[in-house]
Amino acid sequence: MGQSMNQKTGGSWNNLFVHLLLWGVIFILPYFFMDSARVFTWRPFLRSIPQMLGFMLVFYLNFFLLIDQLLFKGKPRAFILWNLVLIIAVAFFMHYSRELLEWLMPYQRPRWRGRRNTFIPFFFLLRNATSLFLMTGLSVALKMTVRWLEVENERKELAKAKSEAELQNLKNQINPHFLLNTLNNIYALIEFNPPKAQQAVMDLSKLLRHLLYDNNQAFVSLRQEVDFMRNYIELMRIRLADHVKLTTRFDYSATGNTLISPLIFISLMENAFKHGISGDKDSFIEISLCEHSDGKVEFVSRNSYFPKSESDKSGSGIGLELVKKKLELLYPDSYLWHTTVEDGVYSTVLVIDTKKQQDDTELLDRG
């Protein structure tokens, strides 16, 4: 809400600047085409006051009233008719007000001769009316531009709100999926190793703290996410047999300000533990995360591959599908993800350009 208020305030100041610039150009530009020997005097300025008032009257009556009430409501004929009446009336006002000012000004009063007052000065009225028509067109153009910008900002806000709702929905799906797999692992430990099961419950409590607090944020520090990944790996290590080799490597700046989406790597690690372990064969799991100096975060997971059978419901792959959706929402055009299966080894590499994503988010917010 605060951000919306800031955007509205910024938009109001931008509109004010546009109006000041517009009238500055309209009223000051003609002075640049005058004879260079001439200097500013009050007499020409006072004579131009009726013209200024006429321009502003037509412009703002259209900008604040006629365009909204007639043109934007599908009444173009009424809009044209009201503008014809307005322009004719203001054209007369501009002409005769100027003549009245000249007559009232001391010194250099115009000489009124013969029949000059008896006929209507069509040429001057036509010139004024043409200028007023141009002001009407300028008002319509500016109003439509402002409205387009407002619609575009609303569209961006709706798209942002939709993305946030979809992300929240994904979080609500990822968390139960992750907890279900973790509880299944603890259940298996209870049967053959109760002490390890107790330790697993303690490790799970640390993970739940991350889920309850850090996961409510759109982004967390890379250090927080690495701590979560380590806790998860230690929780999984408890149930590993001796014939399973687990190696990890984390290379990142502990004092850096890199932000990452929470739980973005958890499903990839779950997949490694789910499909990389055999009950009676030598197995291995390698997990690494590296933060590069250009803001890219590279996650690599390699494991021996023992795919689940079709009858195994836990191998449905919903976690990886959720990761893909989350990447598309949070890191569009800012990530590379590919997986390979070769010689019985499953590999997945996910590279996220956090700097590009952060720049795009800031640009969107400013827009």
For residue 144, what is the enclosing H or E element? helix 122-192
Residue 111 has pLDDT above 70, yes or no: no
Look over the chain and give the mean of its residue pLDDT values, rounded to a whole number. Answer: 76
pLDDT tens string 80-91? 999 899 988 888
How far apart, in whole angstroms, are the C-alpha atoms of residue 338 and residue 124? 74
Residue 10 has pLDDT above 50, yes or no: no
Same domain, 77 and 139: yes
Q: Which of 154, 179, 208 is the last residue of a domain?
A: 154
How many domains in the chain?
2
* This model's pTM is above 0.95: no
Tell the burial category of 102 from Cβ atoms under 10 Å away from its Cβ (0-12, 13-18, 19+).
Answer: middle
How far apart, in whole angstroms, are the C-alpha atoms of residue 271 and residue 275? 6
Same domain, 9 and 114: yes
Q: Whole domain around residue 361: which residue ranges? A: 193-366
Which CATH number belongs to the domain containing residue 348 in this structure? Answer: 3.30.565.10
What pLDDT does residue 173 have? 52
Same domain, 101 and 241: no
Identity of the amino acid at 25? V
- Does residue 258 contact residue 221 with C-beta atoms inside 8 Å? yes
47-51, 53-57, 66-70, 359-363 — most confident range? 66-70
Comparing 104-113, 151-160, 192-201, the range with the smallest average pLDDT is 104-113
Same domain, 105 and 234: no
Q: Identify whether 165 is part of a domain.
A: no
Comparing 8-12, 243-247, 253-257, the range with the smallest average pLDDT is 8-12
- Which pLDDT band, with edges at 50, 70 and 90, does 365 fall under? low
Residue, of 313 and 298, whose pLDDT is higher: 298
Same domain, 150 and 200: no
What pLDDT does residue 329 have? 81
Residues 6+ apart with CB under 8 A from 40: 31
Same domain, 349 and 211: yes
Sheet holding 283-291, edge to edge: 244-251, 283-291, 296-304, 345-353, 335-342
Same domain, 13 and 84: yes
Residue 6 has pLDDT above 50, yes or no: no
